[in-house]
Amino acid sequence: DQQVKQNSPSLSVQEGRISILNCDYTNSMFDYFLWYKKYPAEGPTFLISISSIKDKNEDGRFTVFLNKSAKHLSLHIVPSQPGDSAVYFCAASAYSGAGSYQLTFGKGTKLSVIP
Amino acid sequence: NAGVTQTPKFRVLKTGQSMTLLCAQDMNHEYMYWYRQDPGMGLRLIHYSVGEGTTAKGEVPDGYNVSRLKKQNFLLGLESAAPSQTSVYFCASRALGAGGSYEQYFGPGTRLTVT
């Protein structure tokens, strides 16, 4: 059973417009959420995160919104740039015992920003 | 400061062969993780370690073994490779979570093909 879902495998956006990537989760024990960006043939790199006690976190062009009641988060990229074209993974963290916090990843959304 | 490095970058194995993937980090991180990424599946946790000399199973541990003899190294072993283990393998590390940071730092990946 998928605990973190990214229902859009791909998204195309014009350069300069807003990109909105969505993520839903089912486990109410998740207390921290992260977005990773991945280019082909590279490892994922951390982009932005949000604690479950907040509903918004902003870093430059990137903003993450969290709606706990709906178990939904979204990543907004404004304005979108061609260099933002990558696969974006949503991840959620929960305590798994013995001092360990594990990340559960969604399947990713491939963003294409068209010049 | 190289971050997280993985050796080798590519490998082709025949069914039944064995091999070890090496992950090294120079950030003095306590936690280390091994993931596999398959098309359309996101990243799935194989094994993880919360410190030197300790390991634990993740979501998909069957067919793999790990060891963490030194804090900076985390080894993933395949004793008898199977075609189902064809995948891209990522290693990650994380600092002991002061301040609630759950960010994991990823290596560049190892692309393994089992024929």
Q: What is the pLDDT of residue B60?
A: 95
Distance in angstroms (rounded) separating the CA atoms of residues B80 and B93: 26
Task: Tell me the mean pLDDT in the region B1-25.
Answer: 95
Confidence of residue A102 (pLDDT cuts 50, 70, 90): confident
Contacts of A106 in chain B (CB under 8 A): 42
**Residue A28 burial (CB < 10 Å; 0-12/13-18/19+)?**
exposed
Confidence of residue A94 (pLDDT cuts 50, 70, 90): confident
Do the chains contact at A43 and B50, CB–CB below 8 Å?
no
Task: Tell me the mean pLDDT in the region A17-42.
Answer: 95
Confidence of residue A77 (pLDDT cuts 50, 70, 90): very high
Q: What is the pLDDT of residue B103?
A: 86
Q: What is the pLDDT of residue A99?
A: 65
Do the chains contact at A49 and B104, CB–CB below 8 Å?
no
Do the chains contact at A44 and B106, CB–CB below 8 Å?
yes
Give me the residues of A, 49-108, that contact B with CB < 8 A: 49, 51, 89, 93, 98-103, 105-108
Strands (E), chain A: 4-5, 10-14, 19-25, 32-38, 45-51, 56-59, 62-67, 72-77, 86-95, 101-105, 109-114
Evaluate if residue B100 carries a pLDDT over 70.
no
Contacts of B104 in chain A (CB under 8 A): 46, 103
pLDDT tens-digit readout, B35-74: 999 988 889 999 999 899 999 999 999 999 999 999 999 9
The percent of residues in chain A predicted with pLDDT above 90, rounded, is 86
For A78, the 3-state DSSP assignment is coil
Q: What is the pLDDT of residue B12?
A: 97
Do the chains contact at A46 and B102, CB–CB below 8 Å?
no
| Nearest-CA distance B6 → chain A (Å) | 10
Q: Which residue of B has its CA nearest to A43?
A: B108
Do the chains contact at A41 and B50, CB–CB below 8 Å?
no
